[in-house]
């Protein structure tokens, strides 16, 4: 299957399930959500739950109780139905609803993958005192340079190339301390991303800074709890940004 962009979060892999979920674009603006799986797990529309349940019964799940197999079957069905709903919502122009549905689907697959004896995720205990930041920027060079500066300044940094990747990331990971968000990005811009973030109860208290070439007064994004906490117009002074990040997180400003 064709991956939309260079970003890793467009292709979400669940190693223990042997399943990969990808976001594909076909026929212009139409979007399709693809599910790829091993040959012994045939995935057809509306059939994934049944076929994978058969594999669970014949393979790894054979040692599980009947109630456990039934639970896994139901969870897989929920995830697959959610993917189908998200695809329909995207193509109907209901972007915010689609993203929330997609987050729920990916989270459900994560639960399933963990239940199949998934190896522990990388231990970040050594970084527990480093504030976590998600940098959302579509320019690869800018993203790499700013991420490097932030890491050298004591932050743990993950990156996304647009709002859609950011929402997928937020659906699969613990909430970061702060998000740095560009406004002009492909597929899902910053304004749509912030609307989705503030519309999600789990993310409403997360700090968000706009880091963009757009002036705040030219944007429809609100400054405050329903929008972004602070606005930085490019070109930025990296140390000023870092000091502001530290200040809003209650850290000592260098």
In a domain, 253, yes or no: no
Answer yes or no: do 132 and 155 share one domain: yes
In a domain, 120, yes or no: no
In a domain, 171, yes or no: yes
Identify the pLDDT of residue 109: 72
Answer yes or no: do 92 and 166 share one domain: no
Answer yes or no: do 183 and 243 share one domain: yes
> Looking at 115, 146, 172, which one is the last position of a domain?
115
User: Which is nearest to 187 in space by CA: 173, 167, 205, 169?
Assistant: 167
Identify the pLDDT of residue 73: 62
> Looking at 85, 115, 145, which one is the last position of a domain?
115
In a domain, 254, yes or no: no
> Looking at 115, 143, 159, which one is the last position of a domain?
115
In a domain, 202, yes or no: yes
From residue 161, give the alpha-carbon distance in Å to each of 6, 54, 141: 8, 38, 11
Answer yes or no: do 229 and 192 share one domain: yes
Q: What is the pTM of this model?
A: 0.61
Identify the pLDDT of residue 87: 73
For residue 235, say if its preceding peptide bond is cis, omega within 30 degrees of 0. Answer: yes
Which residue's structure tokens are 């998000």? 179
Answer yes or no: do 41 and 139 share one domain: no
Answer yes or no: do 106 and 196 share one domain: no
From residue 171, give the alpha-carbon distance in Å to each of 21, 81, 176, 181, 196: 14, 17, 11, 17, 12
For 92-103, the pLDDT digits (tens) are 777 777 777 777
Identify the pLDDT of residue 115: 66
User: Which is nearest to 7 in space by CA: 152, 190, 135, 195?
Assistant: 135
For 39-66, the pLDDT digits (tens) are 544 443 333 444 444 444 454 444 445 5
Show pLDDT as tens, one digit a residue, over the chain (254 residues): 222 333 334 667 676 666 777 776 655 556 667 666 655 444 433 334 444 444 444 544 444 455 665 566 666 666 767 777 777 777 777 777 777 777 777 777 777 766 665 444 444 544 557 999 999 999 999 999 999 999 999 999 999 998 888 988 888 888 999 999 999 988 888 898 999 899 888 888 899 999 999 999 998 899 999 999 999 999 999 999 999 999 999 997 76
Answer yes or no: do 105 and 154 share one domain: no
Identify the pLDDT of residue 213: 92
Identify the pLDDT of residue 231: 97
Query: Range of 99's domain?
Result: 8-115
Answer yes or no: do 239 and 169 share one domain: yes
**Token pair of 70 as six digits:** 């039934």
Supply the CATH number for residue 179's domain. 3.40.50.2300
Answer yes or no: do 150 and 79 share one domain: no
Answer yes or no: do 132 and 240 share one domain: yes
Answer yes or no: do 132 and 61 share one domain: no
Identify the pLDDT of residue 51: 44
Sign of the Cα pseudo-torsion (176, 181, 186, 192, in order): positive
> What string of DSSP letters covers the chain?
---SSS-GGGEEEETTTTEEEEEEEETTTEEEEEEE--TTS---TTTHHHHHHHHHHHTGGGGS-HHHHHHHHHHHHHHHHHHHHHHHHHHTT-HHHHHHHHHHHHHHHHHHHHHTTPPPPPP-GGGTTSPEEEEE-S-HHHHHHHHHHHHHTT-EEEEESSHHHHHHHHHHSPPPSEEEE-SS-SSS-HHHHHHHHHTSTTTTTSEEEEEESS-GGGS-PPBSTTSBSEEEESSP-HHHHHHHHHHHTTPPP-
Tally of domains within the chain: 2
Identify the pLDDT of residue 215: 92
Answer yes or no: do 16 and 53 share one domain: yes
In a domain, 2, yes or no: no
């Amino acid at each position: 299957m064709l991956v939309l962009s260079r970003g890793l979060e467009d292709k979400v892999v669940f190693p223990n399930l042997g399943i990969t979920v990808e976001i594909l674009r076909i026929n212009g603006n139409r979007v399709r959500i693809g599910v790829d799986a091993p040959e012994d797990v045939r995935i057809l529309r509306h059939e994934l739950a049944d076929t994978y349940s058969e594999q669970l019964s014949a393979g790894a799940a054979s040692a599980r109780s009947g109630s456990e197999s039934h639970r896994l079957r139901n969870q897989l069905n929920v995830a697959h139905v959610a993917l189908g709903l998200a695809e329909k919502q995207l193509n109907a122009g209901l972007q915010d609803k689609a993203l929330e549905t997609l987050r729920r689907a990916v989270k459900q697959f994560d639960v399933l993958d963990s239940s199949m004896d998934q190896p522990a995720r990388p231990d970040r205990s050594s970084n527990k005192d480093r504030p976590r930041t998600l940098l959302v920027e579509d320019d690869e060079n800018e993203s790499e340079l700013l991420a490097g500066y932030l890491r050298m300044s004591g932050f743990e940094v993950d990156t996304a190339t647009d709002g859609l990747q950011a929402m997928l990331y937020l659906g699969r990971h613990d909430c970061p301390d702060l998000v740095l968000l560009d406004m002009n990005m492909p597929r899902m811009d910053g304004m749509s991303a912030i609307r989705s973030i503030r519309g999600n109860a789990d993310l409403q208290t997360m700090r968000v800074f706009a880091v963009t070439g757009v002036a705040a007064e030219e944007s429809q994004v609100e400054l405050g709890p329903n929008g972004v906490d602070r606005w930085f117009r490019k070109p930025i002074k990296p140390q000023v940004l870092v000091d502001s990040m530290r200040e809003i997180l209650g850290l000592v400003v260098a």
